[in-house]
Amino acid sequence: MLVELLHLLITPVPFAHRRRGHLRESVLLMSRGRRCRAAWAPHLAAARAAILASCEGLGRRRVAIVLGSGLLEDVPLAALAARFEAVHLVDAVHLWPARLQARAHANVRLITADLSAVPDRRDPLSTLCGGEAVDFVVSANLLSQLPILPLDRPGFVPPDLGSRIVQAHLDGLARLRARVCLLTDVEQIEEDRSGQVIDRLDLLHGVRLGRPDRCWTWELAPFGEAARHRRLVHRVEAFLDWRGP
């Protein structure tokens, strides 16, 4: 609790991102990740392996960009920094553990940006990732997170806002000339202790991705984390060369 409060106080973050709730969400995610370290480990290892497989064989290795870099738990930062001339880490919030990791590499740069291309705004991906020198882009378990805060805002929310935000990110990625690695959780499954499925939640709001190159499960909340006799498991998909569904 005290650690969370400290991060809320000392993290440099634009006021708009703080107001929209990005900082709070990041701190909560960090705390859950620490509590669920063992349960999350296989997912994080699978994600890091997928990123490295995706950039294998690239002819040029100038700039690599990681969208939704967060705490760099699923990002093989040292390997990317060794393979590419420059690595840009993009997120709405960079908490101090990620800032310190980034500082260990002279060619790693942090960029703070809101990546949700809501329909009335310019596509942030073309601005951030459309440069001629960008050879590799990773969307690192970001896609399902993009609609969460916009859908939570008070007032009228258009019923298709979630799917439009998801689709806009996918379209933005598909337009890039760089190799794109898309990692995303697609479905949440709630199970009881006998393994019976209690509930399912489509994390991509009806948007379908097609056939992934790799898939695995992520035990997001083991028994006792969100509820004593229920656990939450996410289905994760990896596309090593995303060009659209």
Ligand X SMILES: C[S@@+](CC[C@H](N)C(=O)[O-])C[C@H]1O[C@@H](n2cnc3c(N)ncnc32)[C@H](O)[C@@H]1O
Output the six-digit token pair for 130.
């459309």
User: In angstroms, rounded to a whole number, what is the distance separating the alpha carbons of residues 4 and 23?
Assistant: 10
Which amino acid does the sequence have at 64? A
CB 223 within 8 A of CB 187: no
| 145, 167, 184, 188: residue in contact with ligand X (rule CB under 6 A) | 145
> Terminal CA-to-CA distance of the chain, rounded, Å?
42
Of residues 73-112, those binding ligand X (CB under 6 A): 73-75, 91-93
- Asked if 70 interacts with ligand X (CB under 6 A), we say yes
Spell out a b/e string for 204-233, using b for 16 or more CB atoms within 10 Å of the CB, else e: bbebebeebebebebbbbbbebeeeebbbb
- Asked if 71 interacts with ligand X (CB under 6 A), we say yes
| 69, 139, 167, 188: residue in contact with ligand X (rule CB under 6 A) | 69
| 102, 128, 129, 142: residue in contact with ligand X (rule CB under 6 A) | 142
- List C-alpha distances in Å: 6 to 11, 18, 24, 27, 158: 8, 14, 12, 10, 36
- Asked if 26 interacts with ligand X (CB under 6 A), we say yes
Helix axes 22-35, 2-10, angle to 10 degrees: 140
Of residues 41-60, those binding ligand X (CB under 6 A): none
Using CB under 6 A as the binding criterion, the count of chain residues that bind ligand X stands at: 22
For the chain, how are helix, strand and coil distributed in percent, rounded to 5?
Answer: 35, 25, 40
- Asked if 207 interacts with ligand X (CB under 6 A), we say no
- Asked if 116 interacts with ligand X (CB under 6 A), we say yes
In terms of CB distance, is 45 or 60 closer to ligand X?
45
- Asked if 135 interacts with ligand X (CB under 6 A), we say no
CB of 59 to ligand X, least distance (A): 26
Question: Which residue's entry shows tokens 């994760």?
Answer: 236
- Asked if 115 interacts with ligand X (CB under 6 A), we say yes
- Asked if 36 interacts with ligand X (CB under 6 A), we say no
| 54, 68, 162, 166: residue in contact with ligand X (rule CB under 6 A) | 68
CB of 13 to ligand X, least distance (A): 10
Residues lying near ligand X in the complex (CB under 6 A): 22, 26, 29, 68-75, 91-93, 114-116, 140-142, 145-146
